[in-house]
Amino acid sequence: MGMGINSRERIARRAAKEIKTGMTVNLGIGIPTLVANYLPADMNVMFHAENGILGTGPSPLKGEEDENLCNAGGYPITIVPGGSYFDSATAFGIIRRGLVDVTILGALEVSETGDLANWIVPGKKVPGMGGAIELAQKSKKVIVLINHVNKDGSPKILKTCSLPLTAPKCVDLIITDMAVFEVTMDGLLLKEIFDPYTILDIRKNTDVIFKIGN
């Protein structure tokens, strides 16, 4: 089941609903970067980047990039009014003090207890874990955006992660191209199903027993 552009956009659009005015938000690389596109234009949100910015704006138009302005992934950005710059130590100070309201991350695997594995596949070259460990541990709310299954059709939501963990028991909400799960003390709670999928599709493609809620 390939991920079309629509499913990525749909995941991002659903994640945007979790963001409220006045929040400080950190967006990871991949699908999370799309979330900003779905916020109302008048919503006052400060996006945080680990390389030392609070208040990143939309991507600049071609030809209007500032070579000194990029996000933690190295992509050109703009700054919103009221935005500020600081060094990386301060950026991580903000994270470690728990001042980030929501962090939205991609993942390789998530477990039923909210363990997150998102930084390394053994044997593959990796750029490093970046701020993921601290963001996952310290943010007030951690939302994971993933394809429900891998390219080979195997589930990404597992009883136990097989890959090295980024952080244990840190995920609050999982949004996939098929469904939305809340991580609770009693395991996963299925909150929403996206068309055209059914409860049977979700069961077949999820490696854990989950409860159904509203």
139: left (phi over 0), alpha (psi -120 to 50) or beta: beta
72 close to 129: Cβ distance less than 8 angstroms: no
Cβ–Cβ contacts within 10 Å for residue 20, how many?
Answer: 12
* 50 catalytic per annotation: yes
**Cα 45 from Cα 83, distance rounded (Å):** 10
Tokens of 168: 């244990």
Using alpha carbons only, what angle is made at residue 76 by residues 97 and 102, rounded to the nearest 5 degrees? 30
Among the options 50, 109, 134, 182, which is catalytic?
A: 50
**Cα 210 from Cα 183, distance rounded (Å):** 10
HSE toward the beta carbon, residue 164, CA cutoff 13 A = 11
The set of catalytic residues is: 50
